[in-house]
Amino acid sequence: MSLKEMVAQEIRTVRELRYLNIEFDPERCSGTWQCYEVCPIGLWMPNYGTRVVEYGDAQQCIACGACVLQCQPQAIKLVVAKG
Amino acid sequence: MATVIMKWLETTPGAYDRGIRLLTLGRLYPLKQRIATEYIQTNGRSDVRVLEIGCGTGTLALMMAEKGAQVTAIDASPAMLTEARGKAAEAGVLESINFQHLNVTELGQHFEPASFDVIVSTLVFSELPTEVSQYALLACSQLLKPGGRLLIADEMVPSATWKQLIYWAVRLPLVVLTWLLTRTSTAPLRDFSNALAQAGFVSRQVESLLGGSLQLIEARPEEAVEMVPPTAYPRLRHRITLKTLALDLLSLVNRVIPPYPKIRTGLYRVGNPDRDAPVLLTGNYELTVRRLVKTLDGQVDCWLVVANSQGINVWCAAGGGHFTASDVISGLKTSGILEMVDHRALILPQLCANGVDGWHVRQETGWGVHWGPVRARDIPAYLQNGRKKNQPMRQANFPLRDRLEMTTVMLFLYAFLLLIPVLIFWRPYIFLIYGLMISISYFYGIFLPWIPGRDGLGKGAVLALLTLVGLWAWSLGWGQLEPASLFGWSLGLGFLAFFVGAEFQGMSPLMRGEQANWSVEGLVGGATLLVYAAGRLLFGGGL
Residues of B in contact with A41 (CB under 8 A): 395-396, 510
Which has the closest alpha carbon to A35: B217, B394, B407? Answer: B394
What rounded mean pLDDT belongs to chain B?
85
Residue B506, pLDDT score: 72
Residues of B in contact with A16 (CB under 8 A): 516
Pair B121, B52: CB distance under 8 Å:
yes
CB contact under 8 A, A69 and B512: no
b vs e for B484-511, b when ≥16 Cβ sit within 10 Å of the residue's Cβ?
bebbbbbbbbbbbbbbbbbbbbbbbbbb
Q: Which of A17, A34, A66 shows the shortest C-beta gap to B513?
A: A17
Q: How many CA atoms lie within 13 A of A51 on its CB side?
A: 6
Q: Interface pTM (ipTM) of the complex?
A: 0.87
Does the pLDDT at position B128 exceed 50?
Answer: yes
Cα–Cα distance list, B422 to B114, B123, B522, B541 (Å):
65, 42, 19, 18
Residue A1, pLDDT score: 55
pLDDT tens per residue, range B80-104: 899 899 999 999 989 899 999 998 8
CB contact under 8 A, A40 and B509: yes
Average pLDDT of the segment spanning B501-517: 71
Chain B nearest-CA distance from A61, in A, is 7
Q: Does A10 touch chain B (CB under 8 A)?
A: yes
Pair B198, B173: CB distance under 8 Å:
no
Does the pLDDT at position A20 exceed 70?
Answer: yes
Q: Does A38 touch chain B (CB under 8 A)?
A: yes
Chain A nearest-CA distance from B195, in A, is 36
Residues of B in contact with A59 (CB under 8 A): 454
Does the pLDDT at position A78 exceed 80?
Answer: yes
Q: What pTM value is reported for the model? A: 0.83
Does the pLDDT at position B3 exceed 70?
Answer: no
Average pLDDT of the segment spanning B32-36: 89
Range picked from A13-17, B226-230, B271-275 for highest mean pLDDT: B271-275
Residue B280, pLDDT score: 97
Q: Does A8 touch chain B (CB under 8 A)?
A: no
Give chain A's end-to-end CA distance (angstroms, integer). 27
Model confidence at A34, in pLDDT bands (50, 70, 90)?
very high
Run of H or E including B205? strand B201-209
CB contact under 8 A, A69 and B357: yes
Q: How far is CA B201 from the centre of its chain?
A: 31
- Tell which of A22, A43, A70, A71 to mutate to test the B interface (max B CBs under 10 Å): A70
Which residues make Cβ contacts (< 8 Å) with residue A2, sequence separation at least 6?
A: none
Please, what sign has the CA dihedral across residues B222, B226, B232, B235? positive
pLDDT tens per residue, range B244-296: 899 888 888 877 777 788 899 999 999 999 999 999 999 999 999 999 999 99
Average pLDDT of the segment spanning B459-467: 91
Output helix, strand, coil percentages for chain A, rounded to the nearest 5: 35, 20, 45
pLDDT tens per residue, range B307-332: 998 888 888 888 877 899 999 999 99
Does the pLDDT at position B1 exceed 50?
Answer: no
Residue B385, pLDDT score: 92
More confident residue, B448 or B185: B448
Minimum CA–CA partner of B509 in chain A: A62
Pair B349, A64: CB distance under 8 Å:
no
Q: Which of A18, A65, A70 shows the shortest C-beta gap to B455?
A: A18
Pair A35, A67: CB distance under 8 Å:
yes
Average pLDDT of the segment spanning B170-188: 69
Distance (Å, rounded) from C-alpha B332 to C-alpha B342?
A: 14
Average pLDDT of the segment spanning B106-128: 89
